[in-house]
Amino acid sequence: MKVIYWEIFENESLPLLLAATEKGLCYAGSPGSGDSECEALIQKRYPGARLVKMEEPLKPYITEFSEYLEGRRMGFTMQLDSSGTAFQEGVWEALRQIPYGETVCYSDIANMIGKPTAVRAVGSAIGANPVLIVVPCHRVVGKDGSMTGFREGLDMKRFLLDLEKKNNLAIV
């Protein structure tokens, strides 16, 4: 039976539900409202897993997220333990190639994976991304630059893009 450790990472910017196995981070997203909702979010993606609320195994992930949200980290080095279909994993890998502080549109991702007509399927794969921020689906916008769907809402998406834009300007 897969054991998943989870905790709500509280910080001044935004709270995050983080979950990991011994192999790596398997979930990052909004925590919802209370422990039972957090567990339901994880169980939906990992049915049958044994969930253990414990901060200690998550400390390396919490450190990287803290550094990112404080503007001291532009990329992540943590191991991931998330899986999807071959198509989803190809899309998620393409997302990881989007530079910090930059955006692309869905058709750019479709072209990156060699499937230029699969724009809608790309959107579905992006929506299935279990590890937000680390796999930066927030960097995908509409072809006209407009804010488009994001599992955790457009306010969080704007926050993350603004954070990266601000930090990118500070680095230059």
86-95 helix and 119-127 helix, angle to the nearest 10 degrees: 80
Beta bridge mates, 105: 141
Distance CA 110, CA 117 (A): 7
State the DSSP H helix or E strand holding residue 36, giving kind and residue range, or none if neither: helix 35-45
DSSP one-letter string for 91-149: HHHHHTTSPTT--EEHHHHHHHTT-TT-HHHHHHHHHT-SBBTTB-GGGEE-TTS----
Q: Is 91 exposed, middle or buried (0-12, 13-18, 19+ CB in 10 A)?
A: buried
Beta bridge partners of residue 3, listed in sequence order: 50
Q: Is 137 a catalytic residue?
A: yes
The one catalytic residue in 26, 38, 105, 137 is 137
Q: Which residues are catalytic?
A: 137
